Structure 1
Amino acid sequence: MKRPETANELAITFFYYRDLPRAMAFYEDVLGLELAIDQGWSKIYAICPGAHVGLVDEARGMNKWTEQKPVQLCIRVPDVDAWYGYAEARKLDNLSRLFVNEQLGIRAFVFTDPEGYQIEIQSATRAGA
């Protein structure tokens, strides 16, 4: 059987939380994301056209909260320095220094959300990166 050739419509990465209202406040108030789909115990936020992050109450979702988070949410922005200044002012948890990865062609920093998921904010340092 051949794979369907229709275009994808939406991408959602789901994270699982013990305290969903606290996570929602972070993604809305700190990151400024807009709630796109409200499924009750699952809240889906738009990051940019086609890309979304879903926050799920671990008591109801398909997976459960775990202390170790082997995933990272990366958001590319036009001005990583402005975002870094904002992150410093907000005193975000586990805020790294700004760093450059020449091989990847990015300038970035990381921090963690209220339940330990790592978020990277980055800008490209060259075209095509």
Structure 2
Amino acid sequence: MPRPNAPNTLAITFLYYRDLPTAMAFYEDILGLPLAIDQGWCKIYRICAGAHVGLVDESRGMNKWQAVKPVQLCIRVPDVDAWYAYAQEEDLANLSKLFVNDALGICAFVFNDPEGYQIEIQSATREGA
């Protein structure tokens, strides 16, 4: 049987939390992401057209919370400098210095959400990056 050929309609990356209300407050109040789908113990936030992050209560989800988080959520923005100034004011956990990666063509910084997931905010420094 051939692979279905219809275009994808939505992308969601799910992250698992012990304290869902605290995670929700962070993604809503600090990152400013709008709640797109409320499934009760799973809250799905819109990052940009077609891309979403789902915050899951680990006691109900398919996976469980883990102390080691080998996942990074990367959000590309038009003005990384403005976001970095904001991140400094918010005193975000494990906030890095603003850095440029010429090989990748980005300027970026990272920080952790309330349960240790790393978030990268970046802007492209050249076209096609």
With normalisation by structure 2, the TM-score equals 1.00
1:97-108 to 2 correspondences below 5 Å: 97-108=97-108
Letter in 1 for 2:10: L
Does 2:41 match 1:24? no
Distance between the aligned counterparts of 1:59 and 1:15, measured in 2? 12
Moved over 4 A (4+): none
Provide the identity percentage: 78
Aligned Cα root-mean-square deviation (Å):
0.3
Give the deviation of 1:120 after TM superposition. 0.1
Q: Which runs of 5+ in 2 are unaligned?
A: none
Displacement, 1:45?
A: 0.1
The normalised TM-score by structure 1 is 1.00
The equivalences for 1:1-80 within 5 A come to 1-80=1-80
List gaps (5 residues or longer) in structure 1. none
> Per-residue deviation at 1:40?
0.3
Q: Deviations over 1:40-75 (max 9, x none)?
A: 000000000000000000000000000000000000
Q: Secondary structure of the equivalent of 1:86?
A: helix
Structure-2 residue corresponding to 1:110: 110
Per-residue CA distance 1:1-24 (angstroms, 9 max, x = gap)? 111110000000000000000000
How many positions carry a matched residue from both structures?
Answer: 129
